[in-house]
């Protein structure tokens, strides 16, 4: 966890402003960094928690701070790989770069960020955002997570 100094507060404010439509019940959880060395990874998961009945993580920012590594991308197996090769600076486009993973793998490029919504507008969980931090093959990767929590969220009734 990162101490909430003036720089961190400014980052939090920018993250909230980016999502301008969020309401009064939305706040940024404490920022968290992850450092992955050789073979470091985080298994496939969602950022929302189905066991929580009131409040949940509605959005995620994943920001790459250090990219002195090979491997270590963030894979979303349920997303469709874009055909537009302009994306190839930030996603793995070649089969060799994809390491056999389906979906979209974002390369760890320092200074770049991935943003996604963990819930649909109706409040249901978005199953398309299952993701993992893939193993670092060499070197080191450092990332910053910014999670937006909505304390007013309630499990949709069907």
Residue 44 pLDDT: 97
Per the prediction, the chain carries an average pLDDT of 91
Number of other residues whose CB lies within 10 A of the CB of residue 17: 9
Question: What number is the average pLDDT over the span 9-18?
Answer: 91
* pLDDT, position 156: 65
For residue 158, is pLDDT > 60? no
pLDDT digits (tens, 9 = 90+) for 81-113: 999 999 999 999 987 777 789 999 999 999 999
The predicted structure's pLDDT at residue 157: 62
Report all structural domains of the chain as residue ranges with CATH numbers, in order of start: 6-154 (2.60.120.620)
Asked whether residue 78 carries a pLDDT value surpassing 80, the answer given is: yes
- SS3 percent helix, strand, coil of the chain, rounded to 5, is 15, 40, 40
Structure-token pair, residue 26: 């939305």
What does the CA dihedral 152, 149, 78, 123 come to, rounded to 10 degrees? 10
């Amino acid at each position: 966890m990162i101490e909430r100094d003036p720089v961190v507060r400014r980052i939090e404010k920018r993250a909230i402003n980016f999502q301008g439509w969020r309401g009064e019940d939305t706040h940024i959880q404490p920022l968290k960094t992850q450092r992955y060395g050789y073979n470091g990874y985080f298994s496939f998961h969602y950022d929302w928690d189905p066991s929580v009945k009131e409040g949940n993580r509605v959005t995620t920012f994943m920001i790459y701070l250090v990219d002195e590594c090979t491997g270590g991308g963030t894979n979303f197996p349920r997303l469709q790989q874009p055909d537009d090769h302009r994306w190839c600076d930030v996603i793995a486009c070649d089969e060799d770069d994809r390491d056999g993973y389906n979906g979209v793998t974002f390369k760890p490029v320092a200074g770049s960020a991935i943003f996604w919504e963990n819930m649909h507008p109706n409040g249901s969980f978005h199953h398309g955002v299952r993701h993992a931090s893939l193993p670092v093959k060499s070197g080191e990767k450092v990332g910053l997570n910014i999670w937006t929590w909505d304390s007013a969220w309630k499990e949709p009734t069907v």
